[in-house]
Structure 1
Amino acid sequence: MTQALPQVSLGSSRLVRFLSDLAVTDTQVSHRQFTERLGQWIDFSDSITLSDAHARDLEIEDDAALADFSDGITQEFLRARSTLIQAAMRSFFPSSGPTRIKWPTQESEIPKDAEAAMAPYLKFYQSQQMDIETKIRGLHLRTREASSALSTKLARICAIDAALGDALAPRSRRFFAAIPALLQSRLEFLFGEYQVAVEAGSTPADAWANTREQYRRESQGLLLAEIEARLLPALGLIEALNEETPHED
């Protein structure tokens, strides 16, 4: 039996809510605003491409294989998603298992200013961003290729997904590239709180340990939210696949 997939809407996006909770953005986007912005982001040539993808009469060799393969595609997506999330979360606790990207180790000296306090953590987050972007792009492409071969309807959906992805890619890259700057603002604020705690009588070592732990918790939550947001296009294909698949009662 296929595992239930999460239902995610724009208004409940974990990434939007997390950034709002950290008070680094006050972005509120209604459905109407999103639709209007989407229209602005897609130019005339992109619209033609999308129209062609929607109208395309595709020849599908494996039209009868939908019921046989859809569950396998879904399970592969869920397995890959789980592996991706586990690897990203493990990197925050290197001692929990092997990981290529590791949360910065405790420095022997406490940073003397905000720039020194933030630099290794921002570098860590940006490395994670590049890693998950590559992995999720590959997962999305594999999901699209596998799904497109199962029915004419799914092939058309996948063609539209590819055209829409190309049209929105530059805007998407700019959005995700802005996240480290938002994280930097938050880490700078937390370092200011560390300084206030020291001035109030806390020992620098204890105050920095608490601040560093806060860095870790918030960076981890932000990365998890970004992974969820980046997975949405592939998740949309999986949901379309499951809607197209005949299920036994």
Structure 2
Amino acid sequence: MTQAVPRTRFNSAGLVRLLAELAVAEVADPKQDLAARLGEWVDLKDALALYSALHAIPPEPASRAMPVPFLRAELARVRAALAAAITADPAQPGASALALPTPLPHDTPETAADFAPFQRYYQAHQRAMGAGIAPLRAAVRTALGRESSALRQLAGLDAVMEQALAAREASLLATVPALLGRRFDHLLEAHRRTRDAAQEDDPARWMEAGGWLARFCAEMRRVLLAELELRLMPVVGMLAALETKSTELQ
């Protein structure tokens, strides 16, 4: 049985459901309304900035905005590139620095049962997602800033929200690798309990079909893909608003 872990709040139902499915995190109480949840994330200074953003119309930026089709293509490109890095086969030639760690030929069951490489792998993908999505989010905000007053207001609100919630979001997402570490330990313990005691425990077989480590790696990739969609949510929402406006003008 996995040990109970502290209740952790995430702002994505998809990520919450997946972590709950893996028995490493509890689902946040859905009865708490949005205002109450947001109040836990922002301080007075942030609240004042949000109030100002809701009641102000930012001026049009001097920079030229990218067209909607280009932004949609960029969203698809960024999502595909980050997802491909997550799902890449480490056995393929030319695997990137973000390749999934696997047991080495000289590893013993003790040295191979180390979660640290997988934690570094997950954190590297988190950094890659942050670096890849931030410029796209800024570009979509700039495009909104060239449109109607309502869309310029939305752009200003997103900028304030990103700044106000960045530290809190980073802190919460930083707990995901630790939660996965508990899942790693649980699957390893189950493997040790059920394997034939007379049979040599060969780490090279852990990644074979049905192996406990192969299962863990598949689950970790699912969590990474869910986090990718979480991080893209502001971009997707703003781009949808921009596309709706463009369609109305046609």
- What is the TM-score of this pair, normalised by structure 1? 0.82
| Cα deviation 1:132-189 (Å, max 9, x = unaligned) | 1221222212222233223322111010001111111111011100001101000010
Match for residue 102 of structure 1? Answer: 99
* Structure 1 vs Structure 2 CA RMSD: 2.9
Displacement after TM superposition at 1:31 (Å)? 6.0
| Cα gap change, 1:29 to 1:58, in 2 (>3 Å) | same
Q: 1:216 to 1:172 in 2, by over 3 A?
A: same
Distance 1:23 1:196, change over 3 A: same
CA contact (8 A) 2:151 2:242 kept: yes
Query: Does residue 1:220 correspond to 2:209, yes or no?
Result: no
Equivalent AA in structure 2 for residue 74 of structure 1:
R
Work out whether 1:27 is the aligned partner of 2:27: yes
Query: C-alpha displacement at 1:247, in angstroms?
Result: 4.6
Secondary structure of 1:245's counterpart equals: helix
Q: 1:140 aligns with which of 137, 140, 143?
A: 137
Counterparts of 1:94-243 in structure 2, within 5 Å, are 94-95=91-92, 98-108=95-105, 109-112=107-110, 116-199=113-196, 203-205=200-202, 208-209=206-207, 210-243=211-244
Q: Do the aligned residues in 1 keep the contact of 2:129 with 2:228 (CA within 8 Å)?
A: yes
Work out whether residues 73 and 147 of structure 1, in 8 Å CA contact, stay in contact via their aligned partners in 2.
Answer: no
Cα deviations across residues 4-60 of structure 1 (Å, max 9, x unaligned)? xxxxxx997321111011000112342634431212322222122112222223343
Q: Which has the higher helix share?
A: 1
What is the aligned partner in structure 1 of residue 70 from structure 2? Answer: 72
| Cα distance change on mapping 1:84 and 1:151 into 2, 3 Å | farther
1:102-128, Cα deviation, whole Å (9 max, x unpaired): 1113322233278x4322222211211
Superposition deviation, residue 207 in structure 1: 6.0
> Which amino acid in the other structure matches residue 223 of structure 2?
L
Q: Runs in 1 of length 4+ with deviation above 4 angstroms?
A: 199-203
Which structure has more relative contact order (CA 8 Å, sep 6+)? It is 1
Aligned match for 2:85, one of 84, 87, 92: 87
Q: How many residues align?
A: 235
CA deviation after TM superposition for structure 1 residue 84, in Å = 2.1
Please give the alpha-carbon distance, in whole angstroms, between the structure 2 residues aligned to 1:222 and 1:246: 34
Deviation at 1:227, TM superposition (A): 0.7
AA matched with 2:22: L
Deviation at 1:94, TM superposition (A): 4.8
Structure 2 residues without counterparts, runs of 5 or longer: 1-9
CA distance in 2, matches of 1:44, 1:180: 31
Instruction: Answer yes or no: is the 8 Å Cα contact 1:11–1:30 preserved in 2.
Output: no
| Unaligned 5+ runs, structure 1 | 1-9
Are residues 100 and 149 of structure 1, via their aligned partners in 2, closer, same or farther at CA, if it must alter by over 3 Å?
farther
Tell me the secondary structure at the aligned position of residue 83 of structure 2.
Answer: helix
SS at match of 1:95: coil
* Partner residue in 2 for 1:5: none
Once the two structures are superposed, residues 172-213 of structure 1 have per-residue CA deviations (whole angstroms, 9 ceiling, x without a partner) of 011100001101000010110121122556541276331221
C-alpha distance in 2 between matches for 1:202 and 1:155: 66
1:42 alignment partner, SS class: coil
